[in-house]
Amino acid sequence: MQQNKPRILITAEIDNSLLEKLTAKGFEVEVLNFIKTTTKQSLSLRQQIKNIPEKKVTVIFTSSKAVEAVDSILQNKKTGWNIYCVGKATKNLITQLFPGSTILGFANYATELAKEIINDNKADEVYFFCGNKRRNDLPDLLKENNIGLHEIEVYETVIYQHEVKKNFDAVIFFSPSAVEGFFAVNTIIQSTVFFAIGKTTADAIKKFSGNKIILSDTPGKKELIEEVAGYFTK
């Protein structure tokens, strides 16, 4: 249902600079946050993380939220970690916040990253900083290949369920958790197009709808917003 002013629903907060890429084209855009992430702050967690930089270890980040959570606990304490990460935004943030560390590997998806870690054969054990909604793909693959895994949950994702009473031409999802919150209380018209930040999020949408799903060539908020803008201005 393509219109002169497409109606777009974004299901998580984004930077104003990205939002303006859509509003500048005259799109009607609403932002409704279906998830909220908070950093865990227990004393035992803080001590556990602060002890890790004293070792030369291999660590994994699959989200920028985990990077931000660990940085808030370390408070500029230098690290000499070897790091594997998922996503360009995560990689850029690691470079900024942990300049003393080395990025050994990078992938667009957690499963691809796990395979890279296994093929590199550089680590017998790894520390995985994650959230409470993390998927099993990466941990299961590492364990199956006898790589010791220390999971450290550093942030929590809370899912919100907002009832949406309007019809939209497109709905943008940046995570499977937002998909879960959205479809818990909403149905969608057949003409609505879904935009998903990656394959995992797309797979989550497919559990609830057979509508068209579009992914950007490279997973990332900027890339997905550009995909949306291009789709409606062809």
The verdict on residue 2 lying in a domain is no
Q: What is the CATH number of the domain that holds 102?
A: 3.40.50.10090
**Cβ–Cβ < 8 Å for 144, 167:** no
Indicate whether 28 and 48 sit together in one domain. no
Indicate whether 150 and 90 sit together in one domain. yes
pLDDT for 3 beyond 60: no
Indicate whether 65 and 146 sit together in one domain. yes
Across 20-24, 53-57, 92-96, least confident range: 53-57
Q: Of 156, 187, 219, which residue sits at a domain end? A: 156
Indicate whether 101 and 206 sit together in one domain. no
Indicate whether 16 and 47 sit together in one domain. no
The predicted model gives 213-220 an average pLDDT of 90
Residue-level pLDDT at 114: 96
Nearest CA-CA partner of 160 in 8, 12, 16, 9: 12
The verdict on residue 1 lying in a domain is no
Q: Of 156, 183, 202, which residue sits at a domain end? A: 156
Indicate whether 147 and 169 sit together in one domain. no
Q: What angle do CA 36, 38, 42 make, to 5 degrees?
A: 155
Residue-level pLDDT at 189: 95
pLDDT for 1 beyond 70: no
Indicate whether 30 and 57 sit together in one domain. no
Indicate whether 127 and 17 sit together in one domain. no
pLDDT for 164 beyond 60: yes
Indicate whether 167 and 138 sit together in one domain. no
How confident is the prediction for the chain on average, in pLDDT? 93
pLDDT for 2 beyond 90: no
pLDDT for 140 beyond 90: yes
Indicate whether 44 and 141 sit together in one domain. yes
Name which residue leads in pLDDT, 217 or 129.
129
Q: Of 156, 171, 197, which residue sits at a domain end? A: 156
Give the total number of structural domains in the chain.
Answer: 2
Residue-level pLDDT at 55: 75
User: What is the residue type of 103?
Assistant: I
Domain that holds residue 116: 38-156
pLDDT for 124 beyond 70: yes
Indicate whether 207 and 186 sit together in one domain. yes
The verdict on residue 64 lying in a domain is yes
